[in-house]
Amino acid sequence: MSGLRYVYAVCRPFGTTLPAQLTGVAGVPPKQLVHHGLVAVVGHVPEEDFAEEPLRAHLEDLDWLTATARAHQNVIDALTVVTSPLPLRLATVFRDDSGVRTMMEQREELFLRTLDRLEGRVEWGVKVYADITESSAAQEARPTDVKAATGRDYLRQRRSRRRAHEEKWEHAEEFARRLHETLSGYAEDTRIHAPQNAALSRASGRNVLNAAYLVPRSESEEFVELVDRHKDDAPGLRVELTGPWAAYSFSGFGEEDS
């Protein structure tokens, strides 16, 4: 089959077959490309979409990007069920199989070392959101909306509202710090990501914590229970748990160049 080679992940050889109905980017089923003790999971994609110039244009198209990311993630999710993949970044593309093998040859030692570290482990994401605004804090600061009698009363009300806002924010940050410390003590490794942009994520509230945790697959149930127990300690805050994922945050290949 002609076209470029889209690389989803690098793995150690695995005996379990992927679902027959699984398709990836461009609607093409992924295949395994073996090189020494490594397997690259690849798909064929058309040059008219994935050559350098059209790809650059597509990456500015949110609909195209969303569909491609979803297809990419479908393959990674299927791999995570049967092995511990080392996922490469979205739209990692090579000219042909030879280019993929050359990449694997050049980075073989690093790939093997990273796969050893990730073997039997998955990533869990934990986010904490706080709905903190001046208006919400103001409602708690004053039981009734009484018009200030004097300028001094007005300033006093403003200070009261500001203090209420600051106290709620300090509470949210303190809860997020304590939760992260607790989860870090359980996980083998952690990553703190930048807070999510609310306009992009469309999640309500302000993102106080955006963290990833590397956890042995066999201990994931206990990790989930630990997060659930702490949700009750967060009145007014929302704790969101996602996963288990392939260990994107711990692969070291998020900015992989092709």
Summarize pLDDT for 97-146 with one digit per residue, the tens: 999 999 999 999 999 999 999 999 999 999 999 986 544 444 444 444 45
Nearest to 227 by CA among 238, 218, 236: 238
Confirm or reject CATH 3.30.70 for domain 122-249, answering yes or no: yes
Q: Which residue has the higher pLDDT, 254 or 251?
A: 251
SS3 122: strand
250 pLDDT tier (thresholds 50, 70, 90): very high
Sequence ranges of the domains in the chain: 4-119, 122-249
Percent of the chain topping pLDDT 70: 83
Place of tokens 């609909």: 63
Q: What is the pLDDT of residue 203?
A: 72
Distance CA 246, CA 61 (A): 26
Mean pLDDT of the chain: 87
Q: What is the pLDDT of residue 164?
A: 62
Distance CA(183)–CA(56), nearest Å, equals 39
Q: Which position has the higher pLDDT, 170 or 73?
A: 73
- What's the pLDDT at 205? 84
Judge contact between 129 and 240, C-beta under 8 A: yes
Query: Which band of pLDDT confidence, cut at 50, 70 and 90, is reported for residue 214?
Result: very high
pLDDT at 256 > cutoff 70: no
Q: Is the pLDDT of residue 27 over 90?
A: yes
Nearest Cα residue to 163 out of 139, 146, 138: 138
Quote the tokens at residue 89.
């970044």
Q: Are 14 and 39 in contact (CB under 8 A)?
A: yes
pLDDT digits (tens, 9 = 90+) for 153-205: 667 666 766 676 567 778 899 999 999 999 999 999 999 999 987 666 667 78
